[in-house]
Structures are given as C-alpha cells and as structure tokens.
Amino acid sequence: MNQFPYIERAISGYVRKVAAMFPVVTLCGPRQSGKTTLARHLFPDYDYVSLENPHELQRFKQDPLQFLAQHRAPCIFDEVQNAPELLSYLQGIIDDQNERGMYILTGSRQMELQGTVTQSLAGRSVMVDLLPFSWDELKAAGVQLSRDEALFYGGLPRVHVEKTAPEITYANYLRTYVERDVRQLLNVRNLLVFDTFIRLLAARVGQAVNYSSLAGDVGVSASTIKEWVSLLEVHYFPGSAIPQELR
C-alpha cells in the first residue's frame, strides 16, 4: 500500500468520463508527472503491467499473445513507448470485443507515443496530457507556496508528496530521465554540451528566448537550439506549478 498521501488531480473527472466513452485512454506527460499514480488511483480494479520492467517487456516480446492472455482487459499498461508494437495487438482485441474502458495506457515520450497511437488506435483512444502539479492542485491540497518557493519546488509530485529535497530530485531527474531520453530522441553525442545548454537556458528564465545568442554561448547552431527547446517543451514541464500570475 502506498504510504504517501494522494493529491487529487484536476483532470480526474475528465479521465473517468472518457474511459466510459472509449476503449482506451492514453495518459501522456513527462516522466514522474504522476501518470501511474493517477491511473492506479482512478482504476484500482484494473490489472497493472509496467513495460519499464525489463522482465515484463521481455515476456511481451517473447510471446505477445500469451502475455496478453495473462493480462486481459481491463488493464493498465504503463510506459507503452517501450513496446509500441503492443498497440497493434490491442487494436485487434478492441475491435473484437468492442467494449469501453478496456485499457489505460501511459507514456512519457509524447511525440513518439502520439504518432503510434494515432496510427494503431485511431478512433479507439483518447489522448490526455498530464503535467506535474499545477498551482491550483497544490493549493487545493493545502500546499501554500510563495512565488520564490514555487520556482524552487516546481511541480514534480515526488517533491510535494514524498517530501524529497528539490535540489537532489531535479538533479537526479536531469541525469536519469532528461539525458537518457534526449540521447535516444535526438542522438545527442556530447552530453556536456547539452548540459551547458540546460544550465544557460535555466539562467534565462523570465527572458525572451534568443536562439542565436544561446547558440553562440552553447557552441551549436541556432537550429539545434530550437530543436532542443522544442523537445523540452513537449516532454518536460517540472516547473508547471508556477501560476501565470506569478511568472
């Protein structure tokens, strides 16, 4: 049993609603934004499989049909970007059974996942974006933050629910998730250069983005900076707790 308190997400009602209308709900968002917690909280009676687990992923790849026979609907498949071919198998099951709320999928690489879902589950799945905690969600949970505290703590659930140290949590987040995903998505060969980009970008918070200036400081082209910024905008929003009026 989870020993940590649950903070209600504003999107919960919408997720329940669309799950009652479509066979699949796909929760997209940055890593550690609370997708798994939300899915398991809203659908506690569903079977659960994490495809981040190497053992489960290997079982699926070795025998997809047997794997799906053991994990029948209703089921939550976590981090499905690790097994995109799963969606093609789900399509056949969905078309055969034609029921609502059969599967809840979660995924962290939004651009990849959206393309795969659109191709394999068109008309069968609703895509729902889940960001880290918003200002209103934290406020409703009794968390009171000043502007500077909001900047420091950000919105990652782990920081607010498990009370982990922000300076450690975000440093680890950068190393274990951002750098790993960036390496896979953009084929960044020199992570030191990317790390410099992240630090210089953070130092420019509150300023208008000047791609040429940033490119000169980092030592890459302006088009590369635009690509990297676009990736971060799509995949990572750890500071989303900061309300518009305090930005």
pLDDT confidence of residue 183: 67
Number of other residues whose CB lies within 10 A of the CB of residue 171: 11
- Mean pLDDT to the nearest integer, 100-122: 80
> According to the per-residue pLDDT averaged within each range, which of 40-49, 164-173, 193-202, 227-236 is highest?
40-49
Containing H/E element for 50?
A: strand 47-50
55 Cβ contact partners less than 8 Å away, ≥ 6 residues apart: none
CA distance 236 to 53: 22
Per the document, the length of the chain is 247
User: At 29, is the secondary structure helix, strand, or coil?
Assistant: coil
- Strand partners of residue 128: 27
**DSSP assigned state of 245:** G
Second-level CATH architecture of 12-129: 3-Layer(aba) Sandwich (3.40)
DSSP-assigned letters across all residues of 68-83: HHHSPSSEEEE-GGG-
- Mean pLDDT to the nearest integer, 196-212: 86
pLDDT for residue 29 is more than 90: no
Q: What is the pLDDT of residues 75-85, one digit of tens each?
A: 999 999 899 99
Mean pLDDT of the chain: 86
CA distance 98 to 116: 20
Contact call for residues 110 and 235 (beta carbons, < 8 A): yes
Total-model pTM: 0.82
Residue range(s) occupied by CATH 3.40.50.300 in the chain: 12-129
Closest CA to 242 of 139, 123, 147: 147
